[in-house]
Structure 1
């Protein structure tokens, strides 16, 4: 009957037809422009054959039903005006409405995933049969938008406004059992019975055994407008509204939209949804979050390409059982890759194993792991005081103290204990890979592998390519990081690599503000309001004042013109006074633990007194100036990293900052932040603070982009 590049339509038994979704040259079905155009053709064909068709079955030939709209098309689509976006949404509303209005029943057989537009397509059909292992949901909020193809309307009427808001505001895919319990689907069956069960349901509907009119009314009928209904909606507003984050406009817009259209007819309700979608799509947050999604896809694609060229890591080793080494051992073992954890002290090994056990106990307590699973992970960690178990190791992570001489000596020693095919890596946060490689006979088999603390929580791994690191070495290291569930980004060798190189200009700006007499607690409040998970003073305490000072010295030595200080930095003085941050309870803040184990903090009087004695002045500084004086040097160092080729793409720079230091997600990353402000506006800000030094100086490439009207994305 029909055959296209995204779907085909064929006759089944008498009166029944089957629409198969199968997007060519794609591993998944997406509702891209091609698919929607073909769906319109199919519906026109169905409308012209209503006298001979009695039922429509919709199935997928892919492992998943439809994963949603094609997000790669969003950047161009969202560049349209709001009125043009509303027209686009209305066209899809009309398309799904035509499917819903066919004079015969339709049934979707949902396998794998039906997300976003894919679930909205299923909602437009009359009945839904779901495989027991499949999931459905509306995750648009994670992209800064709302469901736009009828989802806010049909789902809220099908399962109730409260349940629908729970789905839409979380964006999480829902399990089959929950979808059935709430009435979002009509049947849940074993995966191998899916098509047969859906076809049988279609036969029943076509034969009049199920009420087509009544079923359609369930997802179209508005809530009756009454004092009781208005009170229920007001309760929902209070319940959900109090939990929303003002940095993300989509949740508040979804809540307002559902509450506004709950009592309105279907057509009016869809018009409100279209209005909300088009407004959100034009927001800076939506652009940022769509950019984050696309950046994440790019990073994963590059990691897969590297991994495809790699020899797998069957057994690994880590040198050092401290916080980082123990974390690496836990992560490797949890991923099913056995690891030897070596240290020179037995008590360190015991502590490393104890820490792993505690992390596993948390998973057991949360029901994510049973006792047998915990033991399997622990069995994958082999503690060692010598190198006897290194003969079959494929990759070694060196995680000893951050001292170049000690690291070089340890690496040279282990090189003679592993097979010639093994890869050596260093979990250094700042030390040059080329410097460490000087102690090795085979520098081509060596690279950096920088994990972030705590290892089990932080997703990023910087894979640092030295000038002599081979392609095979990088590939195997990327593959190992990916196998551990991490997100690897390949970066070039320089002081601080990517993340720390970009982060420490931010702290340089922080130091300058302190010396201008700006209170650190106020700076923290301002930067947390800007979107950072913690302000710079609190972050320094969490990382450790000693660690911060060491890294700062490395960056100063590597980039003396930009990253040097006028006089002694405040953090150096804090360290000299014995303050280490949370490590010893004294830093910018003082830390205490109550009887229940809950940590609390308050500004440390000693820190305030020390800073006051070194402040050159007490300047009048606005909140906007605080933000600018911290963000300008960070963003410009990100610009320099791109220009220097430390990372290949703007997307990788921004993803590195999002995953490595918690850059505010709704702002998209440093380069996205520049684009959002506009290069002209950012340049004016930088020029206004030029007296602060070289970190605030615009680069020639930035100037060229500005003059050409080009951003970074």
Structure 2
């Protein structure tokens, strides 16, 4: 239709609240995707059906140019409806749904019109695959804009053409890296990768997309931007090198625990070798296998729990106070990391340490973190400059009088932390919040002697701050709920998943981790080899074993934490760490701890066995069983005692903060999955090793933590 007349009759409204409409104006068609009853456009069978009807309307109209856009302000298509996947038990209906989606996107890809995706926000999973089915992609230069295939992170693979169209667009090597690492690219990073073709101001998005649709022809994907990329994609010997390299890396990194990376590689390999039709059939079949697996269900549940926690973290809390100026006391690696996270969140940050050189080092660390993120495409150069511009510092408390929140990140020593609180109270407003970044010291003890102890809370960040997604906020018994809410809001503004726990030595995360490490030390005292323990736990899915982790943290710090947490410990006190510290061993930084470090080489330290007076012998029971059940049982005790508010927060804290194997879902999902067998194992270990393995009340009573 011509001359400015607009056709709005081709509209598909589904009972589930999905509206997708086709419009035509001055020879250019528009397909507008919308779920009016939802904040985002999530792909489900109803949306796929209505989108297919809109494509058929576009084909019937005869338009030569078509843009695909979203009615949402900052969301294109966010991906599949995960509830549909997490409830899947039979592969057949999953395959049927995927084939329907594949047919619809094939209809889009084969339209005679030049098609352009106008991407205004998140285009993840199926949203990215929808964009890939268009000839061209124009993206808004917006903080909300992210594009990619994150399915592997959920134990799945792209299955609406993502394993087929992405390598044909950006090249097989780049596609493998994006898919296996679950990359979510900003607009400018996607432009550099060849995933999008233009990046424009959000206000100019539709105009730019319309212009591209009018003036550019349809095109076939080339398999990469450069001749080398195209050769690797299309020449079998070169492609085999890229695929074999990716497969070897995936086997090492997944440790056989996560099948999705190898399935993604298989689908890509089949499609490039045997053609797209074979590849589409393969990705649908493999996706269905994965979608009905326990691993995918646990990973999806973990993601959904994380998303819910953004709302539920504020349960029973009042409105937070705004944080415009954030103060940080302690400009070491942790303090400077928190400072950078605050500046990224839009806060002005004032950093303080004992002297000007220490402050300068902290500011440089925060600046370097920002520059590194900009190089990776997380921010553009101008935004990086604005972030750094929000950072300042001094060797005194000048500038702190206006602070809304101050986080102390000084050494883990109670007297020092109390002095910092006292100094801060002398300059801060009465309504300013003071937070301690302690990992173990009870907040009530840190606040002892304070004029207003109720405004002192815990904000336990995890190192390195810029990578670790968790923040553990500690609410003291007589704390001000508004102070707790302010800490939660500040953490969420920094992009953290926040759990709120009640005050106790070690809180939740440090207490459970220390319990598992203590059990590892007891195994060592029985003569079990250091490397045997670490390798067993790493094979089980922990990022590093307990002895490697103790060396990384530092044995002096580890002893201090163990001393703090041991007040409520059940069972024997491990001797290993105190003996090593007494002997002058410090851990990795000092060159020797449980291991000896020479350059990049790491070997078990034979001196440890001598200090303990033990020789290697088989362990009493399975190493993984003892350490895992020690952790799970202590997590359950934290729930019994009210340290944890919910099993969900316990699972998030364990997985996101400590590295509990994600495929198990967390200690409480693990307990649900193993039920009576877990209780019987605890009773058996209690009979053999003592009361520390006596099941916690909620485990003994057979409580189910999730429905």
Please confirm whether the aligned pair reaches a TM-score higher than 0.5, indicating the same fold. Answer: yes
Distance in 1 of aligned mates of 2:495 and 2:475: 20
- Distance in structure 2 (CA, Å) of the matches to 1:400 and 1:202: 57
**Which 5+ residue runs of structure 2 have no aligned equivalent?**
1-8, 225-233
Equivalent residue number for residue 97 of structure 2: 88
Query: What corresponds to 1:638 in structure 2?
Result: 635
Matched residue of 2:499: which SS?
Answer: strand
What is the alpha-carbon distance in structure 2 between the residues aligned to residue 439 and residue 177 of structure 1?
Answer: 52
For 1:336 and 1:187, locate their aligned partners in 2 and report how far apart those are by CA, in whole Å. Answer: 28
Q: Does the CA-based 8 Å contact 1:545-1:575 persist in structure 2?
A: yes
Q: Distance in 2 between matches of 1:454 and 1:186?
A: 34
- Alignment match, 1:235: 241
1:564-595: CA deviations, max 9, x gaps? 415x52212222222222343332123345xx
Cα distance 1:238–1:15, how it changes in 2: closer, same or farther (>3 A)?
same
Mark the CA change 1:365 to 1:407 in structure 2 (over 3 Å): closer, same or farther. closer
User: SS where residue 500 of structure 2 aligns?
Assistant: strand
Q: Give me the whole-angstrom Cα distance separating, in 2, the residues matched to 1:195 and 1:454.
A: 40
Cross-structure match for 2:525: 515
Say whether the 8 Å CA contact 1:132–1:188 is kept in structure 2: yes
Shift of 1:464: 0.5
**Equivalent-residue separation in structure 1 for 2:363 and 2:222 (angstroms):** 54
**2:611 is the counterpart of 1:610:** yes
Corresponding residue of 1:225: none
Q: Does structure 2 conserve the Cα–Cα contact (< 8 Å) formed by 1:7 and 1:19? A: no
Distance 1:342 1:73, change over 3 A: same
Of the two, which has the highest radius of gyration? 1
2:24 to 2, 8, 12: 12
Residues 485, 271 of structure 1: alpha-carbon distance in 2 compared, 3 angstrom cutoff: closer
Partner of 2:132: 123
SS of the residue 2:406 aligns to:
strand
The aligned length equals: 673
Pair 1:131–1:379, CA change in 2 (3 A): closer
Cα offsets for 1:81-111 (capped at 9, x unmatched): 1233222322323343444566766543333
Map of 1:466 onto structure 2 = 476
Contact 1:327 1:356 in 2 (8 A): no
Secondary structure class of the residue paired with 1:580: coil
- Equivalent-residue separation in structure 2 for 1:327 and 1:46 (angstroms): 51
In structure 1, C-alpha distance between the alignment counterparts of 2:119 and 2:37, rounded to whole Å: 21
Does the CA contact (< 8 Å) of 1:491 and 1:497 recur in 2?
A: yes
Q: Secondary structure at the match of 1:463?
A: strand
Cα RMSD after superposing both structures: 3.7
Structure 2 vs 1, CA of residues 196 and 433 (structure 1 numbering), >3 Å: closer, same or farther? closer
CA apart distance, 1:71: 2.6
Taking the aligned partners of 1:518 and 1:149, their CA distance within structure 2 comes to: 49
Pick which of 134-143 and 273-282 moved more: 134-143
**Partner in structure 1 of residue 182 of structure 2:** 171
* 1:454-488 deviation per Cα after TM superposition (whole angstroms, max 9, x unaligned): 44554433211011112210122223333444443
- For structure 1, the residue ranges without an aligned partner over 5 or more in a row are 220-227, 594-598
Alignment correspondent of 2:154: 143
Q: Normalized against structure 2, the TM-score is what?
A: 0.84
The residue aligned with 1:270 is: 280
Q: Does 67-76 or 98-107 show the bigger shift?
A: 98-107
Distance 2:213 2:351 in 1: 59
Q: Cα gap change, 1:329/1:175 in structure 2, threshold over 3 Å: closer, same or farther?
A: closer
TM-score, normalized by length of structure 1?
0.83
Cα distance change, pair 33–328 in 1 and its aligned pair in 2 (3 A): same
Q: Give the distance between the partners of 2:359 and 2:104, measured in 1 at CA.
A: 59
On the 8 A contact 1:364/1:371 being kept in 2, the answer is no
Alignment of 1:104-253 (within 5 A): 106-125=115-134, 127-131=135-139, 133=141, 136-174=147-185, 191-199=202-210, 202=213, 210=217, 230-244=236-250, 245-247=253-255, 248-253=258-263
1:190 Cα deviation after fit = 5.8
Q: Distance in 2 between matches of 1:326 and 1:162?
A: 36
1:321 Cα offset (Å): 5.0
Task: Say yes or no: does 1:687 pair with 2:683.
Answer: yes
Task: Identify which of 691, 696, 705 aligns with 2:693.
Answer: 696
| 1:424 and 2:408 aligned | no
Matched ranges for 1:588-607 at <5 A? 588-593=594-599, 600-607=601-608
CA distance in 2, matches of 1:497, 1:441: 24
